[in-house]
Structure 1
Amino acid sequence: MNDIYQSLDPVAFSLGPVSVRWYGLAYVLGFALAAFILYRVAKRWKVRITSDDVITIMLCVMVGIIVCARLGYCLFYGDGYYLAHPLDILAFSQGGMSFHGGLVGALLGGVVAWKFTGIPFLTLADLGAIAAPLGLFFGRCANFVNGELWGAPTDLPWGVVFGGAAGTMPRHPSQLYEALLEGLVIFCVLYALSRKMPPRPRGTFLGGFLAMYGLFRFLLEFVRQPDAQLGYLWGGWLTMGQVLSVPLIVAGIALVVYAVRAKLPQEGAPEPPEEEDAPAAAGPGGGVSS
């Protein structure tokens, strides 16, 4: 049986001394598609949202994701290294981004966007939950291109040899499993649900996203190699990714139950106040004074 070798170049193209990596392009494409989907779904739901609102939302969420994804990795997966080397937290070029940290950042960014736009937080979160899986899809594909976050050894015919630290044994292409389940499957489910009119209650889509992502991530951790600096946390199978995913499943189910019971409608930005015509000031002769 011939092994499959992953020999893709992480650099998409170079412009002089500047190299553009597939991972960076995945972020750009993911955010761009998220903005497009968010705007289209909001219009279909007939909730008020402007192009300025979309820009504000995306800026808040992008900053939240990038900062908290990095901090989350350093906290959950650093195994104390970053406490001893705090300046390395800023070394984004060395890699290391955590989905769970990025999720917290996206939610915090949503809170800030809610304050700026007036769109209810759960409506923003629902729109983001529908759009986010495509970003996850591109991000996991970029992980595969980078030859990182590879899976456990396997003798299945589609096992991939990543080389380097992964060695020469075939491994599960767990990045592609995650791209399929956490990305395409979740997107298709939530997008299909979003087409029902009137739209489902506030919180439904965020809850569904959290529950599905947590479940898929928990299951996929069984075929994913744990981070070398942490290894298995208990019993030769429990990983940090599974520990962090259980609360997502519980929170997601609880949020869906809350949404069904509360039945809060999806709402957009408040209507701007109507401008009243200022009364003309009359001069002594009855004309308009200057």
Structure 2
Amino acid sequence: MWLDALYHSLNPIAFQLGPVVVRWYGLAYFFGFICAAYVIYRTARRWGTDLSVDDVTTVIVSIAFGVIIGARLFYVIFYGDGYYLANPIKILATNEGGMSFHGGLVGAVVGGALACRRLHFSIPTMCDLAACGAPLGLFFGRCANFVNGELWGKPTDLPWGVMFSDAGGGSVYRHPSQLYEAILEGLVIFAVLFVLSRKRPARPQGTFIGTFLMLYGVFRFAIEFVRLPDEQLGYLLGTNWLTMGQCLSVPVFLAGVAVLVVAHRLNRPQEGFLDVAEGDGQFVRNE
């Protein structure tokens, strides 16, 4: 099992400077946001919008706060199974793990929208730009999950099975479901959106965020079949296959389809900064 040997050679701690410990999981968030910012900036230039480096920085910082807060809150609400009601102080213990992608998505939209309102930039266009960069963040995050040995899959006899240290159940090789997600939710979705973003003029508003949501919903739902459910929840509704991740992925997929349908019908072009009113009632371009 060659991948198993690679896993056991990795250390969740990237480096340590005295009492300061830097983990790969934290670096995954950092590099994910940096790469997303670069993709947003380059794609915005390709589409002819006027986003500057400072504008992108403002949006990314706002999105980052939204992702972290939303991801944590969703995990507490949907995956906590009453634990956090009994131990509310643990809600702040993010170092112990517990982040939900679905909550991070909601937080990202809210944070990005607030930044766009401040900049007077088109929110639908920013959603499309952010969707183009988000898969790279997912890729780094899932790779960090693999390094941490968390969110592992079901037993397998495939040659790339991994014996995760904390999985329990004895010497059992399991699906590296974290890497399946890194490839499908990260690299594949990024490649699809990158190809779509190359067209000029840019495809209508909603095309990219809709495609992202639809593909993520499909991939996440499928991978849950080879990934173990969260221990505190198990399978839902008396089944031996339905997980919370699948339940949350269905509305994500449906939202993606709905956005694509609306985008096709409205056929609105991508736009950048909006005209805003001055005190005398005249409208000027916000630069």
Question: The TM-score by the shorter chain falls in which range?
Answer: over 0.9
2:147 to 145, 148, 159: 145
Count residues in correspondence. Answer: 274
Residue 193 of structure 1 corresponds to 196
The reply on whether 1:239 has 2:246 as its aligned counterpart is no
In structure 2, distance between residues paired with 1:46 and 1:207: 21
Paired AA for residue 184 in structure 1:
L
Following superposition, the deviation at residue 59 of structure 1 comes to: 1.2
The reply on whether 1:161 has 2:163 as its aligned counterpart is yes
Q: Which has the larger radius of gyration?
A: 1
Residue 260 of structure 2 corresponds to 256
The reply on whether 1:230 has 2:233 as its aligned counterpart is yes
Alignment CA distance shift 1:36-1:3 (3 Å): closer
Following superposition, the deviation at residue 113 of structure 1 comes to: 1.3
Alignment CA distance shift 1:258-1:272 (3 Å): closer
Q: Give per-residue Cα distances to partners, 1:74-95, cap 9 Å, x unaligned.
A: 1111101011111110001111
Following superposition, the deviation at residue 166 of structure 1 comes to: 3.7
Following superposition, the deviation at residue 37 of structure 1 comes to: 0.6
Match of 2:21, SS state, is strand
Q: Give per-residue Cα distances to partners, 1:240-268, cap 9 Å, x unaligned.
A: 00000000111101100100110111111
The reply on whether 1:98 has 2:93 as its aligned counterpart is no
Alignment CA distance shift 1:88-1:57 (3 Å): same
Q: Give per-residue Cα distances to partners, 1:94-145, cap 9 Å, x unaligned.
A: 1111000100100111210121111111101000000000000000000000
List alignment gaps of at least 5 residues for structure 2: 279-287
In structure 1, distance between residues paired with 2:72 and 2:100: 6
The 5-angstrom pairing of residues 59-208 of structure 1 reads 59-167=61-169, 168-208=171-211
List alignment gaps of at least 5 residues for structure 1: 275-290
Residue 220 of structure 1 corresponds to 223
| 1:48–1:270 Cα contact (<8 Å) kept | no
2:15 to 10, 13, 16: 13
Q: Give per-residue Cα distances to partners, 1:251-289, cap 9 Å, x unaligned.
A: 101100100110111111137899xxxxxxxxxxxxxxx
Alignment CA distance shift 1:166-1:200 (3 Å): farther
Alignment CA distance shift 1:119-1:166 (3 Å): farther
Q: After TM superposition, which residue ranges in structure 1, 4 or more long, deviate above 6 angstroms?
A: 271-274
The answer to which of 155-164 and 34-43 deviates more is 155-164
